[in-house]
A and B are shown apart, each in its own frame.
Chain A
Amino acid sequence: MSQTAMQNRPVAETNTRFDVELRKVFKVFNGETVVRGIDLNIRQGEFFSILGPSGCGKTTTLRLIAGFEEPSAGEVLIRGRSMSGVPAYRRPVNTVFQSYALFGHLSVWENIAFGLRIKRQSKAEIQKRVQESLRLVKMEQFARRYPAQLSGGQQQRVALARALVNQPTVVLLDEPLGALDLKLRKEMQVELSTLHKNLGVTFVMVTHDQEEALSLSDRIAVMHDGKLEQIGTPNQIYDYPQTPFVADFIGDTNLFKGRIETTDYGMWQVRTERGLRILVKPTESLNGSMPNQVVVSVRPEKIQLSLEKPSSPINCFEGRLMHTMYLGTHVHYLVELLSGDRLTVLQPNRAKLAAEPDSPLYIYWAETDCLALTA
């Protein structure tokens, strides 16, 4: 039985389980390689985010899926079907553009009906589905308006409705909330999430906002310089970053470059460039191999502060307090170690440290609270 399951798996993977597959996709613009060999499988019904700094090739990746660009090499598949040579207007995907790209000469209602009219749906069907989409994005009372008469948030909703009304296999969203102010963005995040849950459609969202990606996505692909650094759930990405870039880009972290000196009892002792000795418990993914150069990442909230020397000497370093910043619920400390390294430490506000600026103190963290990453 397990044997048949094994045999069936590859077939199932290519045919039904994935809505979007990218296979070694490259994109070159005038000699500049913008997308460098991306491999990606996006599951059916998933809220998938592509996260990365501006200019790393996220939009280009999305446009390759939509069909506005053809890959220079590699292949894009949608529902297991190769999309090479299939033009944008024959792909079962709909895009929410970063700039919305609403049709200014058409009313909200006509904007949403556009796709259905092109597909020659019946009048009754169009009426029904446009009405339904308007309700879905709470824009019923604006049906007769023109795009120029709407606020940014309202335009965003129309753009969303215009895509959803066609019941695509995949909805592509390019920084959908990028142009909205903070409060509206939070509201729309909740609505996007609700829409996704209710409709069960696959969402592929591009964003440079890590918080947005972490809070909305089932899985995230972190992109850097045209390459994928890591794919995983928000939890995996945050707690177990696999590269220094991911550790640094997602949340805040302290990074130390160093070499592995000794390995004892499944622990690594890393000697940093400035002479600190840090004890790290290697993660599963690195357990087999032992890289020469590593980067140790310690999250600010995992570091403890104390005025007295703590009893355990593991990962304990002396330093002095440089700067204190109150963030309301948390306090942010900047500490300079004797070695010259500067660390950020984040503590809940209740454990207020009675330390003057420049006063000496000790910082420490458990060997399980830091990660060793291959440099």
Chain B
Amino acid sequence: MYLPILILAFYSFNASRFSATWEGFSLKWYEILFNDSRIFAALQDSLAIAICAVGVSAVLGTLMAVGLARYQFWGKGLYRGASYLPLIIPDIAIAVATLVFLASFAIPLSLWTIVASHIVFCLAYVAVVVSTRLSGLNPHLEEAALDLGATPTQAFLKVLLPELMPAIVSGCLLAFVLSMDDLLISSFTAGGGANTLPMEIFSRVRTGVKPDINALSVVLILASGVLAFLAEYIRYRGDQRRSV
């Protein structure tokens, strides 16, 4: 499963212009990569989109998870199901649906339309991770805080939120990685010169695999890996301390 990645990493250190032949170890492609302004502009767009989408999702996703767990309202089951749907339906469906939606309201495509479309799936991921944590918590924690004199707002801020924080952070990291990785939804909803890193890579690869793209992929894989590991570690630590 990891074989292609290993081969990729191997060739990124290849001095040769052509992937097929090995001409000795070199960091040349990494150098070229770090001096490529188009790549950096794309990275900036990607980061801006990911940070905005994750930031909004962190707040909304947490509130959604808490709201679904704590309050009874009509159509709750339906809403819960609908809110997790973006995890199951294919990206292409989300992409097309978003595009159609935007077009029918005549909203011009821009960086912000990408952000909005990323919020759709980031929100679902954050909500799922937070919900899982929430269902494992002692249901009387907030009552205990109220009992000790905290107002409902204080109980939420001083007890529930800190208890959920590991889940929120790990959900955000996961959503961040997914947002950085996304090609399909971004390319459908991109407009006005917005260009994300995966889109840039894809457009270059179409004209043949170049070694600097190999190098870029290695960097991206490492970064994603570190983030995913961090997310898992935070969640694990939180579970450890809280397994009462």
Residues of A within 8 A of B (CB): 66-68, 87-90, 93-95, 97, 99-105, 114-115, 118-119, 146-148, 155, 162-163, 166
For A115, the chain B residues whose CB sits under 8 A away are 148-149
Q: Which residues of B, 114-165, contact A by the 8 Å Cβ criterion?
A: 138, 140-141, 143-152, 154, 158-159, 162-163, 165
Check A118–B241 contact: CB distance below 8 A: no
Q: Which residue of B lies closest to A165 (CB)?
A: B148
Check A103–B159 contact: CB distance below 8 A: yes
Known: A97-B144, A103-B162, A119-B149; 6 extra A-B contacts, CB below 8 A, are A89-B152, A90-B149, A97-B143, A102-B144, A104-B242, A114-B158
For the complex, give the distance between the alpha carbons of A71 and B190 in Å. Answer: 56
For the complex, give the distance between the alpha carbons of A89 and B158 in Å. Answer: 14
For B242, the chain A residues whose CB sits under 8 A away are 104-105, 148
Kindly provide the distance from the CB of A77 to the nearest chain B CB, expressed in whole angstroms: 19
For the complex, give the distance between the alpha carbons of A62 and B140 in Å. Answer: 14
Q: Which residue of B lies closest to A159 (CB)?
A: B144
Given the known interface contacts A146-B241, A148-B243, A155-B244, the answer about A118 and B143 at a Cβ–Cβ threshold of 8 Å is no
Interface magnitude class on chain B: 20 to 34
Kindly provide the distance from the CB of A28 to the nearest chain B CB, expressed in whole angstroms: 16
For A166, the chain B residues whose CB sits under 8 A away are 148-149
Kindly provide the distance from the CB of B20 to the nearest chain A CB, expressed in whole angstroms: 55
Check A114–B145 contact: CB distance below 8 A: yes
Kindly provide the distance from the CB of B193 to the nearest chain A CB, expressed in whole angstroms: 45
**Most-contacted residue by chain B among A88, A115, A163, A166 (CB, 10 A):** A88
Query: Does B240 sit at the interface, judged by CB under 8 A?
Result: yes
Check A88–B141 contact: CB distance below 8 A: no
Q: Which residues of B, 190-210, contact A by the 8 Å Cβ criterion?
A: none
Q: Which residues of B, 203-244, contact A by the 8 Å Cβ criterion?
A: 240-244
For the complex, give the distance between the alpha carbons of A305 and B137 in Å. Answer: 56
Check B151–A89 contact: CB distance below 8 A: yes
Check B154–A118 contact: CB distance below 8 A: yes
For B149, the chain A residues whose CB sits under 8 A away are 89-90, 115, 118-119, 166
For the complex, give the distance between the alpha carbons of A300 and B206 in Å. Answer: 92
Given the known interface contacts A104-B241, A104-B242, A147-B244, the answer about A89 and B138 at a Cβ–Cβ threshold of 8 Å is no
Q: Which residue of B lies closest to A112 (CB)?
A: B148
For the complex, give the distance between the alpha carbons of A162 and B141 in Å. Answer: 13
Check B146–A114 contact: CB distance below 8 A: no
- 9 CB contacts below 8 A, A to B, read A89-B147, A89-B151, A94-B147, A95-B147, A104-B242, A104-B244, A105-B241, A105-B242, A146-B241
For B154, the chain A residues whose CB sits under 8 A away are 118
Q: Which residue of A lies closest to B161 (CB)?
A: A105
Per a CB cutoff under 8 Å, which of A89, A119, A162 touches B146?
A89
Kindly provide the distance from the CB of B226 to the nearest chain A CB, expressed in whole angstroms: 25
For A66, the chain B residues whose CB sits under 8 A away are 143, 147
Q: Which residue of A lies closest to B240 (CB)?
A: A148
